[in-house]
Amino acid sequence: MSGASLVLSLVKALVVVLFLLNMSAISVWLDRRQSAMLQHRVGPNRAVVYLPAAAVRALLLLPAVLVAGALAVPMWRVVPGFELPRITQGIEAAILFAWFGLMLLAAHVRRNGADNAFEETVGSADPRSYFYGGLVAHLLAAGAIQLLPTSLTTTGDVSWSTGIAGSLAAAVVLGSGFYAGTKVPDGNVGIRLAGTLHALADAIKLIWKEDLRPRRADKLLYALAPLLAIFPALVTFAVIPMGSALCFQDVDRDRMLSFGDLTHLANVLDRSGACPPGHVSLSLAVADLNVGLLYIFAIAGTGIIGAAIAGWASDNKWALLGGLRATSQMVSYEVAMGLSITGMLMIVGAVHMQEIVEWQGRNAWGIFVQPVAFFLFLTALVAETKRVPFDQPEGESEIIAGYFLEYSGMKFGLFFLGEYAEFVFSSALLVTLFFGGYHLPFVDPDGIRIAFGSSTLYELKLTHLAVSLLHIGAFFGKTILMTWLQVFIRWTLPRFRYDQLMRLGWMKLLPIALVNVLVTGLVILAVEAGGPGVASILGTAGQVTQALVALLGVVGTVALVTWMLEPSKPQQFAVSTTARYTLEAGGVKPTKMGA
């Protein structure tokens, strides 16, 4: 292993740990916030940090400068013969930032009132029109650029038009950042970040809280248990690929990744996605193990130890009961979990996570291939992470808080963090196994291609960097979306009884998983016997599922945004003196009110 690979491994591990810890802290907040939204409450949003106005302006401008730099600099770099997609990327980015910025400004005007004529114009329009206008502009730009002659976009070695497109996008971003900066009032400004600072406040509180220990607790094990609980949650993520492998040009021809190679990212890949000769690849999993899934099962199994030891070491009968419950539950559901995924492994023929994702990219997402296994696996995963409706190990109403009942301060915080890190990891695992990992429909390693069978409907070449960024964004986006969806399970389902839980695991999930394995094996044999005709039908069916995902994604997003932006005109009633005074003050949130 070269020094560069070692450093990059550490960087990847740091990214994973930071992502898990931050996401678990934010998920704790999200969990509360979401429950509040379900119950017509506001939820935690009061944590606030006061910063001087200059610092706030700098914070607003910094991301804009970074994005602008990232957009403009690569655009000006000359890449012979590859200008067209770069123009498209630049102009599409400019359009995206323009309509999104206008929409945010419209939202700001609606909330706080207009300051000048420009804001009044922006705020007076229907917020949906920005969204529709943006969509139309995206499509028009994509169409118009295809019509441009190549001679216009390239003048010798200098591709001025790509640079201008990139600079346009950068200018829009910078302009938005500057305008947002001017909106910051003078003096100290309270920053709330939509309430997410509550996660930070909770952590600070937990760290400074008194660390109590029961008098007769086992000192060593009591201190060790929280670490044992959080460790597996963090290390299981190591084998999950966060994006497709990056290809670097092997400048010094030592067939290893060295620091000199890192600046020479391959420009384009061919359709297979394999690194061209003379290149070295960098996997975006922390540890690219070929036993991927087995490693996950092995390490996830050790998560039981933390809960069991915590229950034993606390010297409390409720904690011991909780530890016992956790142990038996996790052991039971590990069986169903392993068997439910077996069908998927039989089809793919590998346990290497990257290969599982690539198979899904070539054929169809796991949820279409193994729908029954998905529900079995989801159930087992929820039970495995001890979340509602399988949270009997905690069972507030029966055994108070279960195995971490005696813990306080940051030791309790570590249990909580570990639980939510496991939760975020379970979302990443679900995404990798059943939702195509980092794969997006119709995004090939060399660009976007909408094709059915042998006929190609639309094609747009993209650089290796753009595709890689799409993949990384897709993986983290899907994981966050999955985390958010999984929180709904908690707020929808009531807790099972313990015997129901055991019966479900051993007498329902296990037999169904076995039947699933049997049926999958029969289907695999039938397809093999069917020959190339059946295989081509299955290939087309796979493309149809990809199209279905893309269509559902686009239609769902458009419908959701349209509905969310629809202005509501609630009817006003003023029948009480309170309401009369409220009307006179312009609502319960007057523009300016004394202390």
Partner 1 sequence: MTQAAWTKPAPRTPIATKVIARPQRTPHVQSYVPEWLKGTALTMKHFFTNTKERMLGQKRDPVLENFDGGITTIEYPEERRPYPDRYRGLHRLTTRDDGSPRCVACLCCSTACPAQCIHIEPAEYPDGDERRGYERYPSVFVIDELRCVFCGFCVEACPCDAIRMDTGMHPAAYDSRDQFIYDQPILLSMVGRDGGRKTENPRHEPGDPTHPGVTREHESH
Cβ(346)–Cβ(527) below 8 Å = no
Q: How many residues does the chain have?
A: 595
Please say which residue, 159 or 340, places its beta carbon nearer to partner 1.
Answer: 340
Determine contact, residues 314/216, Cβ cutoff 8 Å: no
Side-chain half-sphere exposure of 320, counting CA atoms within 13 A: 7
Residue closer to partner 1 by CB (options 127, 322) is: 127
Nearest CB to partner 1, comparing residues 116 and 568: 568
φ/ψ of residue 450, rounded to 5: -100, 110
Dihedral angle computed from the Cα positions of residues 309, 311, 314 and 317, in that order, rounded to the nearest 10 degrees = -150
Please state the φ and ψ torsions of residue 215, each to the nearest 5 degrees.
-60, -40
CA gap 387, 225 in Å, rounded: 19
**Smaller CB separation from partner 1, 192 or 362:** 192
Q: How far is CA 475 from the centre of its chain?
A: 6
Q: How far is the CB of 53 from partner 1 (least distance, A)?
A: 19
Query: How far apart, in whole angstroms, are the C-alpha atoms of residue 222 and residue 231?
Result: 15
Helix (H, G, I), strand (E, B) or coil at 460: strand
**Cβ of residue 545: shortest distance to partner 1, in angstroms?**
20
DSSP states of 538-577: HHHHHHHHHHHHHHHHHHHHHHHHHHHHPPP-PPP---SH
> Residue 214, preceding bond cis, omega within 30 degrees?
no
Min dist. Cβ of residue 105 to partner 1 (A)? 11
Please, are residues 112 and 74 in contact by the beta-carbon 8 Å criterion? Answer: no
Q: Toward partner 1, which CB reaches closer, 266 or 380?
A: 380
C-beta of 3: minimal distance to partner 1 in Å? 48
Q: Please give the C-alpha separations between residue 434 and each of 78, 342, 437, in angstroms, as whole numbers.
A: 40, 13, 8
Contact (CB, 8 A) for 403 and 310:
yes
CB of 546 to partner 1, least distance (A): 23
**Closest CB to partner 1 among residues 127, 134:** 127
- Specify the residue, 19 or 99, whose C-beta has the smaller distance to partner 1: 99
Q: How far apart are the first and last CA of the chain?
A: 63
For residue 380, the minimal CB distance to partner 1 (Å) is 14
Nearest residue (CB) to partner 1, 38 versus 457: 38
> Residue 143 and residue 122: Cα distance in Å, rounded?
27
* Residue (61 or 502) nearer to partner 1, CB: 502
Please identify, using beta-carbon distances, which residue of 349 and 590 lies nearer to partner 1: 590
Is-contact 387 303, C-beta < 8 A?
Answer: no
- Cα distance between residue 125 and residue 588, in whole Å: 25
Would you tell me which residues interact with partner 1 (CB under 8 A)?
A: 34, 37-42, 45, 106-107, 110-112, 127, 375, 488-489, 491-493, 560, 563-568, 570-574, 576-579, 581-583, 585, 587-590, 593
CA distance to 108, 174, 295, 367, per residue, from 344 (Å): 48, 47, 17, 10
Q: Which is nearer to partner 1, 35 or 153 (CB)?
A: 35
In whole angstroms, give the CA distance from residue 399 to residue 319: 7
- Measure the CA–CA gap between 375 and 511, rounded to whole angstroms: 14
Residue 411 CB, shortest distance to partner 1, in Å, is 33
Residue number, 433 or 509, with CB nearest to partner 1: 509
Whose Cβ is closer to partner 1: residue 518's or residue 583's?
A: 583
- Say whether 20 sits in a helix, a strand or coil: helix
* d(C-alpha 591, C-alpha 111), whole Å: 10
Nearest distance from C-beta of residue 572 to partner 1, angstroms? 5
d(CA 21, CA 234): 9
Token pair listed for 243:
């994006």
The 10 Å Cβ neighbour count of residue 554 is 11
Smaller CB distance to partner 1: residue 349 or 511? 511
Residue entry with tokens 């479900």: 504
Q: How far is the CB of 422 from partner 1 (least distance, A)?
A: 21
The one-letter amino acid at 446: D
The residues, ordered by sequence, that sit 6+ positions from 427 with a Cβ below 8 Å of its Cβ are 479, 480, 482, 483, 486
Q: Which is nearer to partner 1, 193 or 560 (CB)?
A: 560
State the alpha helices, DSSP H only, in 435-531.
464-492, 498-503, 510-530
- Of the candidates 354, 376, 216, the one whose C-alpha atom is nearest the C-alpha of residue 283 is 354
